Amino acid sequence: MKTTHETQQWGIRSASFWMTLFVATGIIFIGVRFIINPGAGAIGYGIPLISNDDLPFGRIKGIRDIFSGAVLLPLLLLRMRKATAWVFTSAIIVPAADFLIVLSANGPSDISHLMIHGLTVAYMTITSFLLFKS
């Protein structure tokens, strides 16, 4: 059984804490951008919106991105490393799916957007490893 002392040791002195916070706040920022300016958000994602009728889809993505980041913040604040590790690791499916969506929509020539999503997967995988490491 984990003691309170063991739980309290993980926090602001840990690289995995800051790496997780970086992703959480980054995806919240991206979500806010999708809500405020769905067109710019979609271009950054790699699949531009076609018409104003598509704006609600950008905003839907925005609120989901905000949730994806916000769900990690209480876990970080409470220094719940294992819970953070499981939630963060589960979330790797999002940039992995984004990579595949951009690949299927734009093909392999869209290197810049594929790199953004692919490097996010790599960064999150490394962070997940550090979160689980005792």
Locate the domains of the chain by residue range.
4-132
Structure tokens at 4: 């309170």
The answer to whether residues 27 and 65 touch, using CB atoms and an 8 Å cutoff, is yes
Distance between CA atoms of residues 36 and 8, nearest Å: 37
Q: What is the pLDDT of residues 87-127, one digit of tens each?
A: 999 999 999 999 999 999 999 999 999 999 999 999 999 99
The closest of 90, 89, 87 to 71, measured between CA atoms, is 87
In this predicted structure, the answer to whether residue 30 has a pLDDT above a threshold of 90 is yes
Band (pLDDT 50/70/90 cuts) for residue 9 is confident
Which amino acid is located at 85 in the chain?
Answer: A
Q: Which residues contact 45 (CB under 8 A, 6 or more apart)?
A: 61, 98, 102, 113
In this predicted structure, the answer to whether residue 7 has a pLDDT above a threshold of 60 is no
Average pLDDT over residues 4-24: 85
Q: What is the pLDDT of residues 36-79, one digit of tens each?
A: 999 999 999 999 999 999 999 999 999 999 999 999 999 999 99
The closest of 37, 34, 36 to 61, measured between CA atoms, is 34
Residue 134 confidence (pLDDT): 67
Residue 1 confidence (pLDDT): 54
Q: Which ranges constitute the DSSP H helices of the chain?
A: 4-9, 15-36, 38-45, 55-70, 72-77, 81-90, 93-106, 111-132
Residue 90 confidence (pLDDT): 98
